[in-house]
Amino acid sequence: MARIFLSPPNMGGNELEYIKKVFESNYIAPLGEYVNRFEKSVCDYTGAKSALALNAGSAALHLALRTLGIKDGDVVLGSTFTFMASLNPIFYERCVPVLIDSDESWNLSPELLKKAIKLAPKKPKALIPTHLYGQAAKMDEIMEICENENIAVIEDAAEALGGFYKGRALGTIGACGALSFNGNKIITTSGGGMLISNDENLIAKARYYSTQAREPLLHYEHLDYGYNYRLSNVLGAIGVGQMEVLEKRVERKREIFALYSELLKDCAEFMPEIENSRGNRWLTTLVFKEKNAHLRVIDALNKADIESRPLWKPMHMQPVFKGALSVVDGTSEDLFSRGICLPSGSDMSDEQIAKVAEIVKKSL
């Protein structure tokens, strides 16, 4: 049997046809019809008024900070239980990070958010909450706190396309949201990202910065500096094809989660889904009762040629954040010490899922 990967790409069928049309038009890069179509399809799906296709989700987060005027020395709050890419842009803009722990939802704790605002060295300008593993954070509480404090909310929805909170797509609730189309995401363009927002002026400004901050003149004129962050038309074509099957991918990811939950209900606790939300269940994540049991499971799965991973190591435990203010209560550290991401590819068969679950149980 071929290796079972954690979350491999799964093409929908029309991607090659669209790529062929891109080659026939010779609009390989930069930009083109399929980038425009990709942006429109994401707007149609999420309800966002505007979208900007980029070469990475990190670029989307970076442009969000830059466009909102967050700069040197400003305090930016963020989830500690996340992947490094969520917070790297804080360093790009030479800002001061403040890391906030999770609550029982595994996502950012609104109570600790209040505490972090009080403890911050100066008034925070922005918050980057992560919708962890495609599951919604408590956005009503988070938004109320940040609106009262005049703190801009930049949603890290890199893992969460296809997720909703109270009927609103994740990434459309704050000032703006960042999506990722990396190779392991629920849909992929091999590499890429998108900035979405209901503020069309914000996206227009980000578009300006993403194309080297070039002025609309015949010659190259620059009043400011920018970046080469836009997506190619070839990758846009893949994105158009992938958006056509997004809802099917979410449905299958949720089925996979439900199957694992039933098969392993006696030996693990699974990531919850908060009330009035629908996560995309990008990865099936769980914690075992015993600390470090996940390492035995990962080793057993690897010997069977099955990929799995620990949960994210919290950012406040990472050497790069040494000295940063961290408002933590041990929640994410505990999850990291017991948690695992199981293979969750949307093309996995029920038989493969059963095989993974059986190895997990035996290794425990």
**Closest C-alpha to 80, from 325, 333, 315, 310:** 315
Of 213, 243, 273, which residue constitutes the final position of a domain? Answer: 243
Q: Which residue has the tokens 């009262």?
A: 148
Average pLDDT over the chain, rounded to an integer: 97
Q: Is 351 contained in some domain? A: yes
Of 243, 276, 305, which residue constitutes the final position of a domain? Answer: 243
Checking if the pLDDT of 138 tops 80, the result is: yes
Q: Is 306 contained in some domain? A: yes
Domain co-membership, 19 together with 110: yes
CATH code for the domain of 165: 3.40.640.10
**Model pLDDT, residue 191:** 94
The number of angstroms, rounded, from the C-alpha of 122 to the middle of its chain's C-alpha atoms is 28
Domain co-membership, 190 together with 48: yes
- Mean pLDDT confidence for 180-204: 97
Of 243, 261, 279, which residue constitutes the final position of a domain? Answer: 243
Q: Is 95 contained in some domain? A: yes
Q: Is 223 contained in some domain? A: yes
Measured in degrees and rounded to the nearest 5, phi and psi for residue 179 equal -115, 155
Domain co-membership, 120 together with 186: yes
**Model pLDDT, residue 29:** 82
User: Are the beta carbons of 271 and 285 closer than 8 angstroms?
Assistant: yes
By residue range, what is the domain housing residue 60? Answer: 15-243
Domain co-membership, 110 together with 258: no
pLDDT tier at 325, thresholds 50, 70, 90: very high
The number of angstroms, rounded, from the C-alpha of 336 to the middle of its chain's C-alpha atoms is 18
Q: Is 1 contained in some domain? A: no
Q: List C-alpha distances in Å: 192 to 46, 118, 175, 239.
A: 17, 36, 21, 9
Half-sphere exposure of 115 (CA within 13 A, CB side): 14
Domain co-membership, 344 together with 295: yes
pLDDT tier at 309, thresholds 50, 70, 90: very high
- Mean pLDDT confidence for 188-195: 97
Identity (one letter) of the amino acid at 3? Answer: R
CATH code for the domain of 261: 3.90.1150.10
Domain co-membership, 174 together with 81: yes
**Model pLDDT, residue 1:** 62
- Mean pLDDT confidence for 284-300: 97
Q: Is 190 contained in some domain? A: yes
Domain co-membership, 230 together with 313: no
Give tens-digit pLDDT for 245-285: 999 999 999 999 999 999 999 999 999 999 999 999 999 99
Domain count, the chain: 2
Q: Which is it for the CA torsion 100, 104, 110, 114, positive or negative?
A: negative
Give tens-digit pLDDT for 62-91: 999 999 999 999 999 999 999 999 999 999
Q: Percent of the chain at pLDDT above 70?
A: 100
Domain co-membership, 227 together with 275: no
Give tens-digit pLDDT for 5-51: 999 999 999 999 999 999 999 999 889 999 999 999 999 999 999 99
User: Are the beta carbons of 160 and 136 closer than 8 angstroms?
Assistant: yes
Domain co-membership, 73 together with 137: yes
Domain co-membership, 267 together with 238: no
**Model pLDDT, residue 198:** 98
Return the number of other C-beta atoms located less than 10 Å from residue 228's C-beta: 10
Q: Is 9 contained in some domain? A: no
Q: Is 7 contained in some domain? A: no
Domain co-membership, 153 together with 177: yes
Q: List C-alpha distances in Å: 152 to 130, 156, 177, 248, 351.
A: 14, 13, 11, 33, 46
Give tens-digit pLDDT for 102-125: 999 999 999 999 999 999 999 999
Domain co-membership, 56 together with 122: yes
